[in-house]
Structure 1
Amino acid sequence: MHTYNIHEAKTQLSRLVDEAVHDGEPFIIAKAGRPLVKVVPLDAPAVTQQRRIGFMAGQIQVPADFDTMGADEIAGLFEGKDA
């Protein structure tokens, strides 16, 4: 396990984290030779299934007047009229 001083870790943090994630090897950040923290990669579960766009194609029908459905009722509500 490698130990890096705080200045070196600060300037190269992105690379160090990438290496830890890729290699699975944790590293230690020290200040004045004294270990302060240990950085370890997380064991995140792998994504098993991604969401698919259009997975219900052909199963749902959208009315032709969808954009204007209920327009009179909505306008009446804004004008304070009862539905």
Structure 2
Amino acid sequence: MTVVTIHYAKTNLSRLLAEVEAGGEVVIARGKTPVAKLLPAEPPRPRRVFGSMRGQVALDDSFFEALPDDELALWSGEGD
């Protein structure tokens, strides 16, 4: 972690940003008192696309049949 003064940060912002992009952290201090920290920004999460798994999962008609009573009891908490 690099600690720099405000004056140095203003003068060398591009250099400090390159250090942060490389995975480092930079603390900006007023005198010897830390004031701010530069950290890498998290990349935005990719948007979910509805139907992106289409054609990769197959269900047959048995998927939609009712569960047997003993298994249904387990799901409802009655089989404990």
Give TM-score, length-normalised by structure 2.
Answer: 0.52
Structure 2 residue identity aligned to 1:8: Y
State the secondary structure of the residue aligned to 1:41. coil
Q: How much is the aligned-residue C-alpha RMSD, in angstroms?
A: 1.7
- Count of matched residue pairs: 46
1:35 counterpart residue number: 34
Task: Map 1:56-71; keep pairs closer than 5 Å.
Answer: none
Moved over 6 A (4+): none
Determine if the alignment matches structure 1 residue 25 to structure 2 residue 32. Answer: no
State the secondary structure of the residue aligned to 1:30. strand
CA shift digits 1:3-25 (9 cap, x unpaired): 0000001100011001211x211
1:14 counterpart residue number: 14
CA shift digits 1:15-69 (9 cap, x unpaired): 1001211x2111100001100001101121488xxxxxxxxxxxxxxxxxxxxxx
2:2 counterpart residue number: 2
User: Is the contact made by 2:4 and 2:28 (CA closer than 8 Å) also made in structure 1?
Assistant: yes
State the secondary structure of the residue aligned to 1:8. helix
Structure 2 residue identity aligned to 1:32: G
Give TM-score, length-normalised by structure 1.
Answer: 0.50
CA shift digits 1:62-81 (9 cap, x unpaired): xxxxxxxxxxxxxxxxxxxx
